[in-house]
Copies of this chain bind each other. A is one copy, B any other.
Amino acid sequence: MPVDLPPHTDADGPALPAGPAFSPLYQQIKALLLKSLQGGEWKPGEAIPSELELAGRFKVSQGTVRKAIDELATENLLVRRQGKGTFVATHAEEQIQYRFLRLAPDEGPSTGMERHFLDCRRMRAPADVARALALKAGEQALLVRRTLWRNQAPVVLDEIWLPAALFKGLTADRLAQYAGPMYGLFETEFDVRMIRAEEKIRAVAADAATAELLQVAQGSPLLSVERLSHTYGDKPVELRRGLYNTISHYYRNELS
C-alpha cells in the first residue's frame, strides 16, 4: 500500500480550506483490517493472520501492522494472545462476565443471571425506535421482552428492539435454548456483531405492569438504562430499554 498510497496529505490542487488532514500509514492499515472484519473474512473467535504475514500482504513493516492492531485491540475489536495469535473479539465466550452488562450485586460474586423470556413479537417499529435504529418508515421490528433473575428474584426487565430484516427466524424459544450471552447468539446465528454501545441512564418510577414483573411496589424507583448498540460502521442494530431494580444491585462505572 505505501507504494500506491503515500502517507502524505492528498497531493492535489491548491490547498483546500479544512483539507483532508493527513492519514498515517497505520491508520490506512487499520481501515483495511476493519474492512476485512466487516466483510466477514475473519469470524468472531477466529485468529487473524500473523503480524508478519499481514506486514507482507500490505507491504509495510511489522511495526506498522502492530500499531494498527494495537488500536483495534484497545477498541476491543481484536484480542491479542501472546504465543497464540490475534483473535477477533466475540461475545460468545466471555467466560467471566457479560461484556456490556454493568450491573453488579451488592454482595457476592458477579455470577451470571437466570434468563426468562417473556415474548418475541414482530411489529411495525414505533416512531422513536425507528428513528434510533435508522429504519425506514413502517419497517418491521422485533420486540423481545425478558427478565433477568438472581437468587430467585427478578432484577432486570429488558425490552429489546431489533430490525426484523437482520434477525429472520428469531423466536423466544430459540433465545431460551441458547446458553450464553444473547450477543453470542446474534454473532453465530445472525452474523450481527455488537461492537460499541451508548447508554442513557435515568431514574424512573415503576408502572403497574413493570412493578408486577419485577415484584416491587408500583412507583418504586428503578434504574432506566436505554442502550443503543452498533455494529461495524457505527450502524445501530439494537435498542434496548432496561429497567433495573437497584435494591441489591448497582450499576458500576469507571471514570478516568
Contact = CB atoms under 8 A, between A and B. Distances in A.
A201 B250 contact: yes
A256 interface: yes
Interface string A226-256: 0100000000000000001010001111111
Given A74-B74, A227-B255, A255-B100, A222 B198 contact: no
Contacts of A244: 203
Contacts of A255: 99-100, 102, 196-199, 227
Interface in A124-166: none
Interface string A204-234: 1100000000000001111110010000000
This chain's copy number in the assembly: 2
A75 interface: yes
B204 A221 contact: yes
A219 B204 CA distance: 11
18 contacts: A74-B74, A99-B255, A100-B255, A102-B253, A102-B255, A195-B256, A197-B254, A197-B256, A198-B252, A199-B252, A199-B253, A200-B252, A202-B250, A203-B221, A203-B222, A203-B224, A205-B221, A223-B223
Interface of A: 74-76, 99-100, 102, 195-205, 219-224, 227, 244, 246, 250-256
